[in-house]
Amino acid sequence: MRRAVSLAGAGLGRTSPNPAVGCVVLGADGTAVGEGFHPGAGQPHAEVEALAMAGERARGGTAVVTLEPCAHTGRTGPCADALLAAGIARVVYAVPDPNPAAAGGAARLRRAGVEVVGEVLRAEAERGNELWLTAVRRGRPCVTWKFGATLDGRTAAPDGTSRWITGPDSRRDAHALRAAHDAVLVGSGTLRADDPHLGLRHGVEGRAPLRVVLDRDGTIPADARVLDDAAPTLVVTGPHTPKPVLGDRHEVLRVPLVDGSLDVRVLLDELWARDVRSVLLEGGARLAASFVGRGLLDRVVAYVSPLLLGAGARPVLDDFGASTLMAGLRLHLGEVSRLGDDVRLLLRVRALPGEAP
């Protein structure tokens, strides 16, 4: 199963709206005879890839898969049927499929006489596929807020300088995090201050995410770096904002205003309709506060530098309405690692199965 979880990771950032799934097929004697992962929507699922490698050696064997085999016909056929046709005698899976349209594969296999064992190494498989799992369970894209900050929670010095608060190892890791998400989101303040590109650098490979810019007043300059040809960009404006001038590859999306700000809940619904299942917030303190205040944040990845800047520097988060300790958002600490001189923290709004509540 750990090998299957590792295989699933090869599809991260490329499979939406489908999950990242890995599969290992064992022959009747217990030796590995096939493996595969889902490379992208419309392409063979992990089970089909692994069965194709195994061929006749799969008959009477075991399929080990990170997600319950699907039981529906979409762009491809049901994986449960493919396993039956291959003569698989036993299926071991990690995570029950939360998608009601695809779930039911385990029951179909059992009815056909296949031995089925579920929830094996579920916590590990959940972590490997948590962006998609969280999205399906919430009915909206999974939202991760990423930031680099000083030890006292500052993202820029009083003079506005911010490069570089964190070290090169953190910046490289942040680009790998970007590659795992379907979309990366910034606000107009970050656009004006930093003119970010939002593509993949530092040797990170993968599919560049959709670039999303919140620009309520339509002030994005025509020469902004996010409007180059490296990846598509979605510029989000107010309902009556004059349409900005963009290249042919880019698009304008109008959303309503709430208290003078763009409605980020509507934005998430629009991104969901575009098959976006994960969003990485890379904007500033005000953008992050809008998601926190509306209960739309799922994860935080913080790169903390051993640097102090003091009260005159820019804070990591604006006010989101928490006037007491009880009103604050208390997060669950998931993972801690060291990157050069920095510390990387992964925190979740809700604990995953197997984590302390």
Per residue in 322-354, pLDDT tens? 888 888 899 999 999 999 999 999 999 987 665
Does the pLDDT of residue 356 top 60, yes or no? Answer: no
Examine residue 164 and say whether the peptide bond preceding it is cis (omega within 30 degrees of 0). Answer: yes
Q: How many helices (H) and strands (E) does the chain have?
A: 10, 18
pLDDT tier, 355 (very low <50, low <70, confident <90, very high otherwise) = low
Q: Tokens 């953008």 belong to which residue?
A: 287
Beta bridge partners of 234: 212, 251
Report pLDDT digits (tens) over 178-191: 999 999 999 988 88
Residues in a beta bridge with 338: 343
Token output for 190: 């970050």
Angle at 233 between CA 229 and CA 234, to 5 degrees: 160
Domains identified in the chain and CATH numbers: 2-127 (3.40.140.10), 140-348 (3.40.430.10)
Cβ burial of 165 (10 Å; 0-12, 13-18, 19+) is buried
Tens-digit pLDDT profile for residues 87-139: 999 999 999 999 887 788 999 999 999 999 999 999 999 999 999 999 999 99
Q: Are residues 93 and 106 in contact, defined by beta-carbon separation less than 8 angstroms? A: yes
Give me the catalytic one of 35, 47, 49, 130: 47
Annotated catalytic, 47?
yes
Count of alpha carbons within 13 Å of 113, Cβ hemisphere only?
A: 6
Residues in the annotated binding site: 45, 70, 79, 148, 162, 164, 178, 190, 194, 198, 201, 282, 284-290
State whether residue 146 is helix, strand or coil.
strand
Reduced to 3 states (helix: H, G, I; strand: E, B; else coil), residue 304 is: strand
Average the pLDDT over each of 29-33, 154-158, 240-244, 344-348 and give the range with the smallest value: 240-244
> What pTM value is reported for the model?
0.90
Contact, 248 vs 229, CB < 8 A?
A: no
Q: Which residues are annotated as a binding site for Zn(2+)?
A: 45, 70, 79
Collapse the DSSP code of 273 into the 3-class scheme (helix H, G, I; strand E, B; otherwise coil) and give the result.
Answer: helix
The token pair at 83 is 């396993």
Residue ranges of the binding site for NADP(+): 148, 164, 190, 194, 284-290
Across 216-225, average pLDDT: 87
* Model confidence at 221: pLDDT above 90: no
Residue 223 pLDDT: 85
- Alpha-carbon distance of 239 to 242, in angstroms, equals 9
Burial of residue 89, with CB atoms counted within 10 A of its CB: 0-12 exposed, 13-18 middle, 19 or more buried? middle
Q: Which helix (H) or strand (E) holds 79?
A: helix 79-85
Asked if pLDDT for residue 357 goes beyond 50, the answer is: no
**305 three-class SS:** strand
Which residues, in sequence order, are CB contacts of 221 under 8 Å at separation 6+?
none
* pLDDT bucket at 278, cuts 50 / 70 / 90: very high
